[in-house]
Amino acid sequence: MFLAKTLNQTGANWKITIPDVQKLIIEREAPKQSSWLSRFGESNQLFKAIFKRFKDDSGLKAKYGFGDYHSYETIMKYLDDVERGYPNIAKTFIAGKSAEGRPLKGIKIGNPISSTDKRVIWIDGGIHAREWAAVHTALWFIHQLISTYEIDSTTRSFIDSLSFYILPLANPDGYEFSRDDITPLHRLWRKNRGDIRCKLDLRWNFDFHWAETGSSTERCSEVFQGDTAFSEPESRAIRDMLMSPELHGKTDAFITLHTYAQMWIHPYSNQERTYPEDVQDLREVGLNGVAALEKDYGTAYRFGTGADILYPSSGGSDDWAKGVAKVKYVYLLELRPADEVWDGFLLDPRQLIPTGKETWDGIKVVVQAVLDRARANRPELSPSIITTTTTPPPTTTTVPWWKTSTTQKTTTRRVYVTRIY
């Protein structure tokens, strides 16, 4: 093997982490003729019951094949079905168009749907093409909101008092390119599909300390930031939505979903030990969210700024949302699996629903914090009798925020073309 020979000649230490990436892609994601249930084993009664619930959910007016990955077209159809099935609480919106002309379609959920004076929760996923599980998780949030509105008092209070704007697929061109072929070049594609050579990483294309650190000026780098901030229609679409009269000054939570590393990140990530003035609020709500997430399956998350627990990086949408759009609660979540593994972008479909469930339980803590603030400012939003549930403190030992840069920081940067968050 030429690469092995070259590495040996240079004296570099190396090891093979995935013997055949394309084979792994085929094993996990190639279309199956058998049912989704067969992946768990036909004799497994527990998974049969779970599968039956999601397959035969006759009460739902909009259905989606949760527990598997689907195309842009299928995702857009689901959003349209949600709007048609739940017109009183759901309405699609178009944030803009991608470089290749695909509508950046999302869904607004709230009651009444016509209201534009309520506090807002913004959620997006899939800004990196290969992070399919983030897209699935954003769609799971939509499913939870519409499917439990009539039966769960907490969900009803969320939808009646707040407005959710969810953009499940922020980079549809890159996403479809990653689905076009089973080769690693396609499946592990990260960037958008704009006009410039080698395309660019949308995550670092936002105008907050843009191009200072963590990204690259090299066009063919995985983390090329673009020639200017907001050079791409996809990043401009998110900016224009957040700064529109409908959302600007009203958005109290900005959640952006990524994979992978099991990290709950708050601003600012452009420099170590750099925090907003209200960092204590961000930490209190965020750590309670982590505790709620971990309670489901014991999935352990790290918490802090990206600079403190990972590495400094600037121009991110989350830092921009906090520093420029002035959103109160801003979090970037790196979902399953943990960063010790190397195949995390190819998350086994069997983990999709558990990932969605635990993440939603964590995000509900953020939503509740927004609702509590809204009720404090507008008492008419409070019910006559309020039943509150106190989220337990984190069960794991949490390092104080002023020490995160020295005790939680990842000390090893792995150089690998498919291993950049």
Positions marked catalytic = 334
Instruction: For each of the domains in the chain, give its residue range(s) and CATH number, in order of start.
Output: 48-407 (3.40.630.10)
Q: Amino acid letter at 48?
A: K
* DSSP output for 211-255: TSSSSBS-TTSTTB--SSTT-SHHHHHHHHHHTSTTTTTTEEEEE
C-beta of residue 347 within 8 angstroms of C-beta of residue 260: yes
pLDDT at 275: 97
Q: Tens of pLDDT along 222-254?
A: 788 888 999 999 999 999 999 999 999 999 999
Q: Tens-of-pLDDT digits for all 421 residues of the chain?
A: 666 667 677 778 867 777 777 776 767 676 643 344 444 444 455 555 555 555 445 579 999 999 999 999 999 999 999 999 999 999 999 999 999 999 999 999 999 999 999 999 999 999 999 999 999 999 999 999 999 999 999 999 999 999 999 999 999 999 999 999 888 889 999 998 988 888 898 988 999 888 788 888 888 887 888 889 999 999 999 999 999 999 999 999 999 999 999 999 999 999 999 999 999 999 999 999 999 999 999 999 999 999 999 889 999 999 999 999 999 999 999 999 998 887 778 999 999 999 999 999 999 999 999 999 999 987 766 664 333 344 444 333 333 333 333 334 443 333 333 345 5
Which of 308, 313, 129 is CA-nearest to residue 212? 313
Helix (H, G, I), strand (E, B) or coil at 274: coil
Tokens of 90: 């759901």
- Tokens 């337990």 locate to 392
pLDDT at 403: 35
- The Cα–Cα gap between 222 and 198 comes to 9
pLDDT at 46: 53
